[in-house]
Amino acid sequence: MKNIANTTLNSDVSLPQYDRKTLKSRIVHLGFGAFHRAHQALFTNEMLEKTGSDWGICEVNLFGGEDLIEALRLQDHLYTVAEKGAEKTDVKVIGSVTESLHPELDGIQAVLEKMAEPQVSIVSMTITEKGYCADPATGTLDKNNPLVLADLQTPETPKSALGYIVQALKLRRDRGLAPFTVMSCDNVQENGHVAKAAILEFAQLSDPDFRDWIETHVTFPCTMVDRIVPAATPETLAEISTLLGCEDPCGIACEPFRQWVIEDNFVAGRPEWDVAGAEFVEDVVPYEEMKLRMLNGSHSFLAYLGYLGGYDHISDTMTDEGYRKAAFDMMMKAQAPSLNMPEGTDLNAYATLLIDRFTNPSLKHRTWQIAMDGSQKIPQRMGGSLKYHLTNGSDFSWIATAIAGWMRYVSGVDEADNSIDVRDPMADQLRAICDQHGLNVSVVPALLGVEAIFPAELGQNPQVIEAVSRAYQSLLDNGARATVAAL
């Protein structure tokens, strides 16, 4: 069968110009998903073009995605990224991946042994918010998480990412090998601190002495990642095969824009990602709060209210002047005032750039996809700015409307009485609350009372209850489009 590795590709496709045979698996990455393929692996590919270094990546999927790993192996670990601008599409073949593993295909021990190999310097992750097994409200380890309970029972055969990392570090310590850096690349506020807290707490439960060893010897840099990467659809893959000259089941499409800000805190060396455009800084927090609140917060606003308004894609919402204006105001009036940015940061220019990115008609980023896992996302995307407005007595109606949109969405029924496929770790609990109240404004205080999402200082605040109730009632009475237009 023809694939990237054994066929002549179209002439305008960019191919790796470095010698892939010299690469070593110095990074083990957990989560070979769409975002990682279009972001960290692509940055690494471009770094290799410019440095000729040997930093290769071993990709690991811990849950699902066996077919993706098998497809990747069949094409010599090459795959395609199509960067789709409004005017043109650039097609790049990525060569930074050296090998791949999956516990279902290769066994748990093979993954652990790879992570324990002497040359591995970084274990990086894109495992989504829920992969950290943390309680979103407290940020501490969820000790009742089934994966955590299973891993504490049988630490030598882990299932969770935390369990794999702790066990691999233990193997390294016992063998007299240097530790690796644990680098989170997830859209989680202070992701390095979240990863560190979860891993230390997990280790404490099984071996307190080893927990101290991790805290002393392992670093957990925070990172801020940004690129819009829709999940691959059959249409995307068909388009990539046309642009490429053969099929690529691992291909992914994304926007041209990309950003990566990294805390320069690596215990065992790191690639020169800055030659590919990454920024190494001392403090990532202001950048990630800017992105989480302005980009991700407005994305969630558009996802819930756009889906309810009958818009399939983010770019579709941008054809509606009401949504376009409300999204900009969400950024500049609701989110920007809550930020504390380095001097000279132009938030108005950033918001304008985001609207342009959302408008890109080549990117089919589904509102339904962004709406997933809202219980994990809302605390980070809206909690901090909500606190700011309550403290300062300022207007947070855009945030209240976004939360009301999420509440209306998790009821599981849209405005035309069609069922919504709600994907969320707390979907059953949220649906039970919605079913108890029906489509009635009485559901608002009940959902705001879920402290895993809304800490009591927010969820039980009368101003929050009143503002969200007002927006929710408007969604029932007038629908999403009119509610957004009224903002």
pLDDT band at 189 (very low <50, low <70, confident <90, very high): confident
pLDDT tens for each residue of 227-241: 999 889 999 999 999
Whether the per-residue pLDDT at 356 is higher than 90: the answer is yes
Asked if residue 293 lies in contact with residue 381, where contact means CB atoms within 8 angstroms, the answer is: yes
Burial of 53 (0-12, 13-18, 19+ CB in 10 A): middle
pLDDT of residue 87: 87
pLDDT tens for each residue of 96-132: 999 999 999 999 999 999 999 999 999 999 999 889 9
pLDDT of residue 1: 63
Asked if residue 169 lies in contact with residue 485, where contact means CB atoms within 8 angstroms, the answer is: no
CATH class of the 4-281 domain in this structure: alpha beta
Whether the per-residue pLDDT at 265 is higher than 90: the answer is yes
Domain with CATH 3.40.50.720 in the chain: 4-281
pLDDT of residue 136: 64
Name the CATH superfamily, with its identifier, for domain 285-486: N-(1-d-carboxylethyl)-l-norvaline Dehydrogenase; domain 2 (1.10.1040.10)
pLDDT band at 187 (very low <50, low <70, confident <90, very high): confident
Whether the per-residue pLDDT at 137 is higher than 70: the answer is no
Whether the per-residue pLDDT at 221 is higher than 90: the answer is yes
In DSSP notation, 92-131 reads EEE--EEEEE-HHHH-HHHHHHHHTSTT--EEEE--TGGG
Domain with CATH 1.10.1040.10 in the chain: 285-486
pLDDT tens for each residue of 22-46: 999 999 999 999 999 999 999 999 9
Whether the per-residue pLDDT at 178 is higher than 70: the answer is yes
Structure-block tokens of residue 302: 């558009």
Mean pLDDT over 143-154 rounds to 93
Whether the per-residue pLDDT at 20 is higher than 90: the answer is yes
pLDDT of residue 138: 74
pLDDT of residue 360: 92
pLDDT tens for each residue of 431-444: 999 999 999 999 99
Mean pLDDT (the chain) is 95
pLDDT of residue 330: 98
Whether the per-residue pLDDT at 69 is higher than 80: the answer is yes
Kindly state the DSSP code that residue 274 receives in the 8-state scheme: G
Q: Where are the beta strands (DSSP E) in 223-258?
A: 223-226, 252-254
pLDDT of residue 206: 87
Q: Is the pTM of this model over 0.95?
A: no
Rounded Cα distance between 424 and 280, Å, is 33
Residues with Cβ within 8 Å of residue 275, at least 6 apart in sequence: 46, 47, 50, 51
Q: How far is CA 30 from CA 56, 114, 124, 131, 183, in A?
A: 14, 12, 6, 10, 10
